[in-house]
Structure 1
Amino acid sequence: MFTPDAPALPARSLPGLLHGLVQTQPDAPAIRWLDTATDTRSDWSFARLNAVADTLARCFMVLGVLPGDRVAWLGLNHPALIAALFALGRLEAVLVPLNTRLAVAEWSAVLDDCTPKLLVHDTSFNEAAGVLCDGPGRPVDLTLDHLLACAPSTLLPEAPTEALDRPALLVYTSGTTGTPKAAVHTQGNLLANMAIAAQVQGLTAEDTVLTVLPLFHVGGLCIQTLPALSVGATVLLHSRFDPTATLRAIAEERPSLTLQVPATLQALTAHPGWTATELSCLRTVWAGSSVLPPEPLKAFMARGVPVSNVYGSTETGPFSIALPPEHAATHLGSCGWPAPGVDIRLLGFDGRPAPAGQVGEIAVRAPNVVATYWPDRPALDADGFFHSGDLAQQAADGSFTVVGRAKDMIISGGENIYPAEIENLIATHPAVAECSVVGQADARWGEVAVAVVVLRDASAAAEGWDAPLRAFLDGRLARYKWPRRWVRLEALPRTALGKVQKAALKALLETPPAN
């Protein structure tokens, strides 16, 4: 559905990109920032973004940041984080945005791994930063206020005109369980992703995009925010997601695009101000998720706004597979077609291409895909493909539908069961707000599927609440795929980007009930 060739890069380095924008539209609005907690606002033109980036580069130099050094960032969304990315790009150094949802011990493990020279943080993380920066070999503690007040006169080095192979961004894919692992995004990876994402979304300088997702993830930073800036569009940046502030921004500031995730889509459509908010300014809502629940999608589309899925991961830019708005209504549950310049293969468990129509693991090869994990562990196979761990099927029209994670696949009685298939069906029942399916060990079958359900009306949770849901599956789903156990929760455990934490669900199911 997309042209096969990768679009041309907007520049050959991050500083070169920003310099070009300043030359063509210095006074145009780049970022309009809102602190949703205090209703504080700040407008940044492209000239101001460039000036702050230059100042931050000087500050980092004075503090001893050299090419290849890392600077960690712990804070809510702020224009200075984007300025810091460009500043460090000028110094050929690396930004490490930290997940604000983690605990101090988890942040400490990340810092031990990437050994940053500085830790920049906003005031809400002063106490944590004091702990993280205490002791020999720890990063220098630097508040955002002090950084922005910095005004050194140090001369900057010549901005690199060619820096495609220079690491620019470390994003950790783990940190809540197991050993933290960071994908190394080069300046070339980021610029390629901007070009791909901008082309698929039809971004131009006339657009205004609303960013409410955290910039510490590639979703919030790289699906719309950086691509929008790369073409000279305006970004409405909120410090964090707040449904009231989001709906108000749509009503008053009239963005043309926004990026959401399942949890925020549900929060918006359930908000008291949902029906009164005029949505006609939005030509598309893009959603970053492997699988999208159908109800909030239908709520937006019933009001004339298509919801387009984009598939990817921390390692893939993340813009890899996308569903064009014109196909959103006809391809519910699909993540669409490969983006321009992105090569997708479905691989069987033997590593060979999966037969047509069968489930296989998504493997991605593209210029926005990282080549290494920090510090130098390969992320690609011998053919240059990244193995995602996500399982999908390809339809006859070439579109892809994700059916689950390879590690989440349930093998019951020798049959493969893909949780997403069951989740998508159960989620269409009017009594269900959300659902997740996980595997549980079973002496007879090896594993069985367990459906964990959140009901729309808690008062409907009387004994036998699951009987209508079981009956709903009859004739819609093969019996061997039916959940053998049904569990009701008030809410599903989720990550910062709204993904269900299946490991937490499995642990919960293994915990004996309290007496």
Structure 2
Amino acid sequence: MAVSTVHIPATLPEALARQEPGAPALRFGAVWLSYGEVRAAAERAAAIAWHDWGVRPGDRVAWLGANHPAQIALLFGLARIGAMLLPLNFRLAMAEWQRALAECGPRHLVHDGDWAQAARDLASRSALSAHPAETLSAADAPPAPVHAGPDAPVLLVHTSGTTGGPKAAVHTQANLLANMRIAGQVQEMTPADTVLTVLPMFHVGGLCIQTLPALHAGARVLLHARFHPGETLAAIAQARPTLTLLVPATMRALVEHPAWSGTDLSCLRAVWAGSSLLPASLVEAFHARGVPVCNVYGATETGPFSVALPPSRAMDHVGSCGWPAPEVEARLGPPLGDAAELLLRAPNVVRRYWPDLPACDAAGWFATGDLAQRDEDGSYRIVGRARDLIISGGENVHPAEVEAALMLHPGVAECAAFGLPDARWGEVVAVAVVRAEGAQVSQEELVAHLQSQIARFKVPRRWFFVGQLPKTALGKVQRAVLARQFT
């Protein structure tokens, strides 16, 4: 009797090739591409890169632009020939792009129409060739040779650079496939799913949490060039996606949009949120509409699908990151007060930064730099960054705990707690607050609010009301900048 076996793809091209060619894969604007058409686009990209541009195994090709099917075709095409994609964050300045290119040394830059002029300027300053995305769909060239392999590096993604400068994490094809497999399993993706992608694919969040896992699962992807709250709500109402990925800023934009209350969200079986810390008020706004908000925790170096809160536990575990995903090992390092640094080991964790700086220890453990607590049921809760811990009078204060309590006040749009040096206490808790639009909330009112929420020693002693918070290009608050500014 014959025994059926399930083929597990070892390379990215194999993952794409196993899908039903005629099945719908990707919609961009009004155009649908089938899996066969996406595969053909990837093979054309590989052929052009190999024959016309001279790209060889180990070479890098940069991408500058908003979300676009050409970026996906380029990733899979470069995977075929053993080369690497370097997505550039379009929010960065010219000098930052130049540093990234100088570090990683790509030979070519592909861009979309909106970023054509910036790409040409960048190419002229960095001595590389710029190519419009349309070049990838040019006339057929002979097929490129196959140099795909599980250990071949295929994606370079820069970290947020909250400590020191940003580093480029080197993802192999095996890393991406493991992440696609893990993320698809936890999110229970099937060909019946439709994923709405609105977050930028220059980072692993927009690319790797749902978009690539959806293609791995044979699902459909609705790809938006960039996030717009009105367009996102319209897509939910009209295209009826079953899953989408958001971050706190986009969640807030949706909840505050005039169309929020009138949009039917019943098609969404879950909203996944790529953030270790989610404001409870935003989570509750979605839960009140019957949509579970599932947190997924990870880093650029970890795939990033590492610790996840499934839909079945989303309502009763608000504030938790959930449990380690399948194939992911998690443990806590030495105690630091009431928490400890979270360590991760998994097949989707990168082993090095570009060009050859280790990302893990000898045993394969990646130190996240995040402080976590492990609950009795095995779930994890992130309480802040190890380097952000405030020690005031011998007491440990996690900025995230102060911020979570402060964000419960309707007069606060954003806030960031940080430590300032103090002769008596060593450090005192300080906070920068961005008032909600139209709010006139005072320091005294916020202090009274916090005194009912957290211990007295955690209540900030110094308050600063600001127009905006300093953030990295990926939206992470730079507490060190605040500390320098107000010291």
Q: 2:220 aligns with which of 234, 255, 258?
A: 234
**Native 8 Å contact 1:115 1:138 kept in 2:** no
Change (3 A) 1:334 1:459: closer
Q: 1:470 aligns with which of 447, 455, 470?
A: 447
**Native 8 Å contact 1:284 1:325 kept in 2:** yes
Q: Deviations over 1:280-308 (max 9, x none)?
A: 00010000001001111111100100101
Partner residue in 1 for 2:302:
316
Q: 1:19 aligns with which of 17, 29, 51?
A: 17
Separation in 1, partners of 2:439, 2:154: 51
Separation in 1, partners of 2:115, 2:162: 18
Q: 2:24 aligns with which of 24, 29, 32?
A: 29
Q: Deviations over 1:377-398 (max 9, x none)?
A: 1111122100010111111111
- The correspondence of residues 209-288 of structure 1 with structure 2, limited to 5 A, is 209-288=195-274
Partner residue in 2 for 1:72:
62
Question: Structure 1 residue 42 and structure 2 residue 31: aligned?
Answer: yes
Q: 1:451 aligns with which of 423, 431, 438?
A: 431
Question: Structure 1 residue 336 and structure 2 residue 325: aligned?
Answer: no
Amino acid at match of 2:145: P
Separation in 1, partners of 2:292, 2:471: 25
- The correspondence of residues 81-96 of structure 1 with structure 2, limited to 5 A, is 81-96=71-86
Q: Deviations over 1:78-131 (max 9, x none)?
A: 011011111000001000001110000000000000000101112322232223
What SS does the aligned partner of 2:62 have? strand
What SS does the aligned partner of 2:301 have? helix
**Native 8 Å contact 2:41 2:136 kept in 1:** no
Q: Deviations over 1:307-350 (max 9, x none)?
A: 010000000000000011121121111111110111111112xx
Q: Deviations over 1:444-476 (max 9, x none)?
A: 222211122233353424xxx121221122253
What SS does the aligned partner of 1:58 have? helix
Amino acid at match of 2:483: K
What SS does the aligned partner of 1:30 have? strand
What SS does the aligned partner of 2:207 have? helix
Amino acid at match of 1:81: Q
**Native 8 Å contact 1:71 1:120 kept in 2:** yes
Partner residue in 2 for 1:3:
none
Change (3 A) 1:180 1:433: closer
- Aligned identity (percent) is 56
Separation in 1, partners of 2:227, 2:260: 15
TM-score normalised per structure 2: 0.95
Separation in 2, partners of 1:342, 1:9: 22
Change (3 A) 1:208 1:241: same
Separation in 2, partners of 1:466, 1:92: 57
Separation in 1, partners of 2:385, 2:364: 21
Q: 1:345 aligns with which of 328, 331, 344?
A: 331
**TM superposition shift of 1:426:** 1.4
Question: Structure 1 residue 190 and structure 2 residue 176: aligned?
Answer: yes
Separation in 1, partners of 2:318, 2:303: 24
Q: Deviations over 1:364-423 (max 9, x none)?
A: 000000000001111111221000101111111111111111111112222221111111
**TM superposition shift of 1:144:** 1.4
Amino acid at match of 1:428: L
Question: Structure 1 residue 379 and structure 2 residue 359: aligned?
Answer: yes
Question: Structure 1 residue 298 and structure 2 residue 284: aligned?
Answer: yes
Separation in 1, partners of 2:80, 2:206: 22
- The correspondence of residues 380-419 of structure 1 with structure 2, limited to 5 A, is 380-419=360-399
Separation in 2, partners of 1:460, 1:128: 41
Partner residue in 1 for 2:112:
122
Separation in 1, partners of 2:384, 2:359: 21
What SS does the aligned partner of 2:124 have? coil
What SS does the aligned partner of 1:133 have? helix
Separation in 2, partners of 1:467, 1:223: 41
In structure 2, list runs of 5 or more residues that go unmatched: 1-5
Q: 1:204 aligns with which of 174, 190, 196?
A: 190
In structure 1, list runs of 5 or more residues that go unmatched: 1-7, 35-40, 349-353, 511-515
What SS does the aligned partner of 1:460 have? coil
Q: 1:143 aligns with which of 126, 132, 139?
A: 132
TM-score normalised per structure 1: 0.90
Change (3 A) 1:77 1:375: same
**Native 8 Å contact 1:261 1:498 kept in 2:** no
**TM superposition shift of 1:9:** 8.5
Separation in 2, partners of 1:177, 1:421: 21
**Native 8 Å contact 2:62 2:86 kept in 1:** yes
**TM superposition shift of 1:175:** 6.1
Q: Deviations over 1:168-198 (max 9, x none)?
A: 1000114698433100000000000000000
Separation in 2, partners of 1:155, 1:189: 26
Change (3 A) 1:456 1:406: same
Change (3 A) 1:231 1:88: same
**Native 8 Å contact 2:48 2:141 kept in 1:** no
**TM superposition shift of 1:236:** 0.5
**TM superposition shift of 1:145:** 2.5
Amino acid at match of 2:18: G
Partner residue in 1 for 2:467:
490
**Native 8 Å contact 2:162 2:472 kept in 1:** no
**Native 8 Å contact 1:15 1:159 kept in 2:** no
Partner residue in 2 for 1:351:
none
Change (3 A) 1:9 1:497: farther
Separation in 2, partners of 1:179, 1:130: 26
RMSD: 1.9
**TM superposition shift of 1:19:** 1.0
Question: Structure 1 residue 440 and structure 2 residue 420: aligned?
Answer: yes
Amino acid at match of 2:17: H
Aligned length: 481
